[in-house]
Amino acid sequence: MPDIATNIAVKLIQRESVTPEDGGCQNYMESLLAPLGFVRTAVDTAGITNSIYTRGGELPGTIAFAGHTDVVPTGPVEQWQHAPFSASIIDGILHGRGAQDMKGAIACWIAAVAGLCADYTPLPTIQLLITSDEEGDSIDGTIRIVEYMQAKGSLPDAAIIGEPSCDKLVGDTIRRGRRGVIQVRATIHGKQGHSAYPQDADNAIHRAAPALTRIAAIDWGEAAAGFPGTSCQITNISGGTGASNVIPGHCDAFIDIRYNPGNSFEQIKAMIESACSDCETTLDFDHVATAFSTPDGYFLDLISDSIQRATGIDTLRDTGGGTSDGRFLAAAGIPVAELGTTNSTIHQVDEQVAVSELATLTAIYSDIIKHFEVRA
């Protein structure tokens, strides 16, 4: 018979919640958490469902779990072995969109709290910070929850982000930080004209090619300790009218930069501007996410020790991958770490998770909550 975490995960996956929709997931969570003493505060913004669930503790301190109920689109449904919202369990594998990212982790946290409450374990104050806008624009989700909590003076002492952090086994990797993200929309200007009369025109694509080559060749320097190096990828280029005999008057490019704390927004902006200095260029910079890192110390040690007790695994403290809502909590001064299931099928057709992973993650979460203390 499936355990509590698996049963909850099934119910969450069966609720279609493609971003920014919540699909009733957070109401379902409330039905589980209210009997455990949690009070829900809605921080809905611009059609996004945001919830803070809080249970006052018998012990000092507050630990939070942050996560999202929205999922990415399924892609071609006919390519799925099992319907994406059926939550089918076949041979110990739970299939469905959100199984790894990240309804499985939400289910494990709730199951861990339920088990501790059933055992009458004295606990710290526990929060669940849940949004339906993580897979979308992330402009009215967790950031609004953090703003609300800052205004109320109710920020947690530390937070676990339920993102699928692990590689081969649950517990083998935690994310202690993430690189930042800068995106640049570049328009290189020229002068449109007839291809038979190049002397009367200025080909914007010809202007763009060396500028973009210089951008791709930028040396970003040595990476900050513990972080991958800064990467810069030109992901889209477009130019021309579609006609074969028209010299293009502009060329557009999109640049995606994932930077480590060894670089800054101001430095990166200056280097991109310098690379484009010999041609007329309009640059639109969007600082999407700030790099962050939780230093070694009690909180990361607690998580590592809990993983060791539950699994015997020595966990890797990593900063790889993309970005997450952890950045909003870190910006508010909260120590954060990402710990969830493995991530082998996230955002893919046939997303799935082993039921055994959910049991392991529940045990780890339970140990973290039970041993959490506030340290100076």
pLDDT tens, 181-212? 999 999 999 999 999 999 999 999 999 999 99
Is 207 within 8 Å of 251 (Cβ atoms)? yes
Catalytic-role residue among 21, 22, 70, 351: 70
What's the CATH code, domain 4-178+291-371? 3.40.630.10
pLDDT the model gives residue 2: 56
235: how many CB neighbours lie within 10 A of its CB? 9
Pairing status of strand 177-178 against strand 125-131: unpaired
> DSSP assignment, residue 200?
G
Domain ranges of the chain: 4-178+291-371, 180-289
Is 303 within 8 Å of 368 (Cβ atoms)? yes
Catalytic-role residue among 21, 134, 318, 325: 134
Comparing C-alpha atoms, which of 344, 339, 347, 291 is closest to residue 317? 339
Question: Is residue 70 among the annotated active site residues?
Answer: yes
Residues facing 89 on adjacent strands: 94
**pLDDT classification of 334: cutoffs 50, 70, 90:** very high
Question: Is residue 78 among the annotated active site residues?
Answer: no
- Please give the structure tokens belonging to residue 168: 């081969």
CA distance 47 to 49: 7
What value does the CA radius of gyration of the chain take, rounded to a whole number of Å?
Answer: 24
Is 76 within 8 Å of 320 (Cβ atoms)? no
CA distance 43 to 33: 17
Average model confidence (pLDDT) for the chain? 96
> DSSP assignment, residue 19?
T
Residues facing 189 on adjacent strands: 250
pLDDT the model gives residue 376: 60
Residue 259 has pLDDT above 70, yes or no: yes
pLDDT tens digit sequence for 313-326:
999 999 988 889 99
Is 311 within 8 Å of 360 (Cβ atoms)? yes
Pairing status of strand 316-318 against strand 173-175: parallel
Beta strands in the chain (DSSP E): 39-42, 50-55, 62-68, 89-90, 93-95, 125-131, 158-161, 173-175, 177-178, 180-189, 193-194, 231-239, 246-247, 250-259, 281-289, 292-293, 316-318, 336-338, 352-354
Is 18 within 8 Å of 70 (Cβ atoms)? yes
pLDDT tens digit sequence for 138-194:
999 999 999 999 999 999 999 999 999 999 999 999 999 999 999 999 999 999 999
**pLDDT classification of 1: cutoffs 50, 70, 90:** very low
pLDDT the model gives residue 322: 81
pLDDT the model gives residue 374: 85
The amino acid that residue 67 corresponds to is: G
CA distance 121 to 276: 61
Pairing status of strand 50-55 against strand 177-178: unpaired
Quick one: CATH architecture of 180-289? 2-Layer Sandwich (3.30)
Q: Kindly state the percentage of the chain with pLDDT values over 70.
A: 99
CA distance 61 to 376: 11
The pLDDT of 102-123, averaged and rounded, is 97
